[in-house]
Amino acid sequence: MSNRYVIILAAGKGTRMKSKLYKVLHPVAGRAMVDHVLTQVEKLDPTIVETVIGSGAEKVRELLGDRTKYALQKEQLGTAHAVLQTEDVLAGKEGTTLIINGDCPLFTAETFEKLFAYHEEQNAAVTILTAHADNPFGYGRMVRDSDGNVVKIVEQKDASETEKKIQEINTGVFCFDNELLFSNLHNVNNDNAQGEYYLPDLISMLKDQGKKVAAYQMADLSESMGVNDRVALSHAEKLMQTRINEAHMRDGVTIIDPDNTYIDVDVKIGNDTIIEPNTKIFGKTTIGSDCLIGSGSRLEDATIEDNVKIISSTVESAVMHTGSDLGPNSHLRPKAEIGKDVHVGNFCEIKNAKIGDRTKVGHLTYVGDATLGSDINVGCGVVFVNYDGVKKWHSNIGDHSFIGSNSNIIAPVEMEDHSFIAAGSTITSDIPKHAMAIARQRQTNKEDFWNRLPLSKSEDWK
């Protein structure tokens, strides 16, 4: 196998996106389009990958780092001109070069590998990646002779009525003999309406030189979809979601309604987990086996171990250990860690806090900047008051403690093992082991208070 090189064209401005974000950085299923392309390319283990960048160059460098070399196209003067910017690195090298656009996030490494293999098998100067289109309108058509040899690529506007009926189309991806590519690039002219240098012009140039021009037809046209506007971005997202969801289902995950389940490409899910409809799972989330992710839940960069149940809740940059459950309508914020068999019920918020095994936080409670031990009962309406207007303070709650309902814990507080807080207390001091803290005024009953009210004189209220 000869050396393999890859050029990713990512210099276009993407004005049709009408966005402040550089086009190839728009995400599809949680990963920038150009990152999708590079990720698939990396699976081929190419000798050199070079990305041609233009507008937004620094942001692309920041995203992709040292995974690729870079060439800067200062002016966008067409695809041939873009490839020419890699000349210093690639010219004169023996091998095969794959050229692909950075706004085509659906291509797979498998397709690239088949294209490389076919090109090398045919010993061609250039191989064009093609596909069958049921409706080829707008695409360049592949014109072949009676023996199946490529004659030319004809664009829609230039096609005859017979050529318009051709359903094999050009996807815009090419494999070139690298030495022939660079020895001919300088001969491409810009004698066209746009005044740009086009890569497909090399096809006829090489054919005129008697070189072999081949075409490999891929199985799935949808892989070749390029994204130029928000409508196409949405189509790409839908296709990628279908691919992701099907892969999870084949790996043993139950997705009740795949059309209404949104899972990013880097998410990992164990078998026998059930995902209910209207669930969104983003980022680097990892979910174990035998979990239930209930309808309306949103997970982002979450770590969910086995046998966890989440009902209509949000988990972001937080950890739930084996056997824990959450919700409905609760929120784990960053740096929340929920221990084994912990119950966090409805309308609770946990932030930068660790909750020990088997502790119960039933409902209407805020736990922020705290460490709770194991086997604690936290009553309804408890608030960890962690912010003094300038600084966040931390509280520690010992094992087997009991916090009564509607209590406020004014941090910092140290509550030792087996201690108690009476319901309705506002706690400002530490609580020793086995003690019960009561911080509320003693109840006073005002006898005959009713008689003081104007209502007591009304016949309607007696």
Q: Beta strand pairing status for 286-287 and 268-269?
A: parallel
Residue 425 three-state SS: coil
Q: Residue 122 burial by CB count (10 A; 0-12/13-18/19+): exposed, middle or buried?
A: middle
| Residue found by looking up tokens 């530490």 in the block | 430
- Answer whether 429's CB lies under 8 Å from 411's CB: no
- Catalytic residue flag (residue 394): no
Query: What whole-number distance in Å separates Cα of residue 286 and Cα of residue 16?
Result: 35
Q: Which of 178, 174, 179, 222 is nearest to 199 (CA)?
A: 174
Please name which of 149, 140, 137 lies closest in space to residue 214, comparing C-alpha atoms.
149
CB crowding 256-265: b at 16 or more within 10 Å, else e? eebeebbbbb
Burial class (CB in 10 A: 0-12, 13-18, 19+), 338: buried
Q: Is 281 helix (H, G, I), strand (E, B) or coil?
A: strand
Of the residues 81, 132, 363, 394, which is catalytic? Answer: 363
The one-letter amino acid code at 238 reads K
Q: In sequence order, what are the residues at sequence separation of 6 or more whose Cβ sits closer than 8 angstroms to the Cβ of residue 193?
A: none
Residues 347-362 as b/e (b if ≥16 CB within 10 A, e otherwise) read bbbbbbbbbbbbbebb
Q: 3-state class of 1 per DSSP?
A: coil
Q: Which two tokens stand for residue 260?
A: 């209404």
* Contact between residue 28 and residue 236 where contact means Cβ atoms under 8 Å apart: yes
Please name every residue paired with 346 in a beta bridge, in sequence order, or none if there are none: 363
Is the omega angle on the peptide bond into residue 105 within 30 degrees of 0, that is, cis? no
The letter for the amino acid at 457 is: K
By the 8 A CB rule, do 39 and 8 touch?
no
Beta pairing partners, 118? none
Does residue 139 contact residue 170 with C-beta atoms inside 8 Å? yes
Burial of 59 (0-12, 13-18, 19+ CB in 10 A): middle
Catalytically annotated residues: 363
